[in-house]
Structure 1
């Protein structure tokens, strides 16, 4: 029994390694199957392999070949392999994984994993199962299932819908952990009812879709250097009553509680947006982190008669930790037209200070902020998915531009001076030899 569990654990680890190695850019969703009885064997897919719909159809035909079957379809709104690598805690703390019940089910039963299934539409997998089982799906939840009488003499397709990160009052990890608890509860109910089942966990669509790039224009052959395109994290977005109203993105959100302590990058953590609000005149974005930090951005917009348009300003940034609060005032430069976003390569509280500390508390006087590649928009989100045109904090006459202008002016001065000297040259009207006799020109009457 221990050896069998070790084999299943190694298979699950191999599945996760296949997740890490899958590098294709085609739209795909992962599919996980496990059964309380047994599933036909399936060779482990090669790294980067995308399973086609025909291959999945052939496998389900062999799995549901004869007799009635009870199938649990855990259908999440969105799911991609990155969700397992980011929130699975595979190489870190196992207790911090968002998929503990799912991992336990895969390790303790007959399971098959497809790291990448070719995605052809949100209804492809439910329609395929409905065709193979010959029954329509029945939408249930854990509470309904506990009171449901399941007839094992006929096939059953039980559909359990799971949300994704649409509720911005919860982090993605919290949503996935709640989904995992639902999976564990449903499996416990099926075990208590003593009903054999086959379960499938997948998504209606990928949570991260990367458009496929053409390889026809790339050089074929060996290369000493390989270009690696980093994954770009999505911006933080808060939804108000009328839709998205605040967006923020930063490469780094560095905070430090003392000039002698190391920086802590909050951008590497997933925040909760509880406490954020927005309206037509004021917006507040509150980022609460599990590490205990709370970072708040206060913005406002108003009409400036001189320019005859509305402008928004980042009035202040507030940092809270261990019951202490430090406030930093956006003294200058952090503003943009209301329909634009604001972008700055560096927003800090200690050099080129766009943020000025406004706290006399000795405990917070040395707190520092340093935001790298910072962009924020608190008003005028027209499309709701992307930032509007960015108003950059960098002035037009940067040091590089000044150096270029001065060098150009110096070269122009040298050119004009030389041209002036050339134009003043005169041709001699006579050619005399000072050592020879003078030229005499006879005159005739």
Structure 2
């Protein structure tokens, strides 16, 4: 992590103003309504090698943020305290943090004190909000432990161990209304929570790494920008979307779909004016275990159908890897919910050909990640699509939770009449489908076994009949009866 006194810009100011002037230095060079700041520091007395902060105007993406976290956790404390605010933007610090000299009006005294006492701190002023949204999943992967959602009262009763990693998540609210004072009061309350948590951690004398970030930007324009980004955004994609050939192709495909009542088009993800991923299902269902019962939610109406355009931002694909992200809102009480299909294509020496596999199906909800592995059961030749009548995680499961501690154990997923293809697409239609049912289906095996049993019974009966012997003497009605002696 970068030391609070090493960057050239921050050497001119006191330690208590590190985070606020660091954020202010890039306020004019980045679109603050698209990014979320990420602030990291370690407990007092813990010094780590310096990580250089990004240059002014640079937007930190998913991979770069994962690199920052990995370097910090590989060397620093593996007890992580994550303060996850519902929304956060740079203006929250410039407006309410006393960054313009009005320190008496600042609402972050506890955050300032924590940064000043830490010898290793890092400020990332502009992180793409999809990357900050997935920070829990990244920490979960690197620490190999499930997140624990806490509050200061629960933390005071918990005894941490410096030798075993822990991911403690504190959800902080954020509210914006017509009265700007309401947001200021909420941020002040959040800072008090940070102060309480830091005090409890200090009393336990357990080294820790603290992170403060948000799930989404607090600017209202962020939502509309993310929707406009659509399938990944980019000027070339918007131009390609408006070409005559693309419009004609979409119109023709929609016309073919309308000719077949009850059939809707698949989800299609395009990149560089070509279709690189297709997904279709008769039903997409997710369920969560709450109070010893399963609560179910049907994602099909939000994914398929006439006039339905699922949000695919965060998706990407290339020749060997693909990631299809379906974004939803208000699913089973979670405001942000993602259904992610992770695919790959590689060459296997044993079969001497390339195969396409569905490596994982991931659920991301409010920053938490649940992962189901599917590479052992869901695969097809690289030139084909994959199709299966039923893909589930609970009934003849093809999707298996990654580990016994993974949050996926609290979830169920079910895909009916499922078909997917992530590579070697030609046009906007699926290639020949490789079905999950083998040549000998359960019905065929039952018929064969029943027939074999009947053949065995018939063979045994014929064998018994052939063993019968004809009597060598018969009764003559005109002659004396045959006397059979009872004793020898």
Same fold (TM over 0.5): no
Q: Give TM class, smaller chain.
A: 0.3 to 0.5
The TM-score, its normalising length taken from structure 1, stands at 0.44
Largest Rg, 1 or 2: 1
Higher percent of residues as helix: 2
Scaled by the length of structure 2, the TM-score of the pair is: 0.40
